[in-house]
Structure 1
């Protein structure tokens, strides 16, 4: 069975954001850029090289499909453009990005995708999708790059829904910029 691996940049107060910081109108958007580091970049490149499929929410898909098809470079762009991409959306009707497929139902379609042949599946960003994956117990590994900053609110992957989820620490690493990489395995 394939594993679903969620990878997120997150603040100490639980806010998630893409490296560009332009997906929400937050007054402190772009906070992640000030913490870029060589060891963080290597971790992200190795993470992408270890999977062969991407799973995205519609908002992340829109951002990625507007940027990545015009980029090149083996570490990120070539892989992202080549890999099969699955976008979960109830509204998207068609895709123009190479090797992209639409899934409609998180619980049913993602569970079916996990049963197919292939390597592990990586979820970048996609906060709404991650919430649904957590709720449906479809995540096999949660990788958080935790940055030493608090921005007072924003997009989060853990809702205040009082749903108990437990995790076991699989790996931790301190980066030279003060951020932590924390890899967790959900306890089911």
Structure 2
């Protein structure tokens, strides 16, 4: 049985979007390694469209080696996109989900293999509410964004988590690894 792992960047004021944060070489290297440990990543339409940015890095490499390696890792890992509006996907390693979120994730979870990552705020919230998340990895950047979407603003019921480990980066960002407590 595979683990379903939600992994997101956020600021200390709880804002999560892929343009907030202070990415550096160590964070890019961390996420490159993480992607090598998984079999797929799940995205909603908005996050998928944001992540297509990395295709431009493949076409026009950065001077930063860690960004180029992350671009290659994100390009290589299979992506499953949940969207009610997209009719086609223009990324060779991406496909549209064939089932609803619950059916798709339960089927993926019941297969053997490596972890499945969830990289979209909306999908993490939905999967938490369905009790299908095994772990949440929150990379908290030492900054206040001041505007944007809060990761948990749509959660209306109490959820309790166990901190299982953490990792601190030289830029003072920290990743907290949480597992939901079984209630």
Range into which the TM-score falls when normalised by the shorter chain: 0.7 to 0.9
Which consecutive unaligned segments of at least 5 residues does structure 2 have? 59-64
With normalisation by structure 1, the TM-score equals 0.81
Give how far 1:144 is off: 0.8
**Is the CA contact 1:37–1:176 (under 8 Å) kept in the aligned structure 2?**
no
CA separation in 2, counterparts of 1:56 and 1:163?
24
Does 2:107 correspond to 1:112?
Answer: yes
1:117-157, Cα deviation, whole Å (9 max, x unpaired):
43111222x21122111111111111111122223342122
Point out the more displaced range, 114-123 or 73-82.
73-82
**Is the CA contact 2:160–2:180 (under 8 Å) kept in the aligned structure 1?**
yes
Residues 154 and 120 of structure 1: CA distance in aligned 2, closer, same or farther (over 3 Å): same
Give how far 1:166 is off: 1.2
Residues 84 and 36 of structure 1: CA distance in aligned 2, closer, same or farther (over 3 Å): closer
C-alpha RMSD over aligned residues: 2.1
**Is the CA contact 2:135–2:180 (under 8 Å) kept in the aligned structure 1?**
yes
Task: Show structure 1 runs of 4+ deviating over 6 A.
Answer: none
Does 2:127 correspond to 1:133?
Answer: yes
1:92-123, Cα deviation, whole Å (9 max, x unpaired):
22222113222241122221122234311122
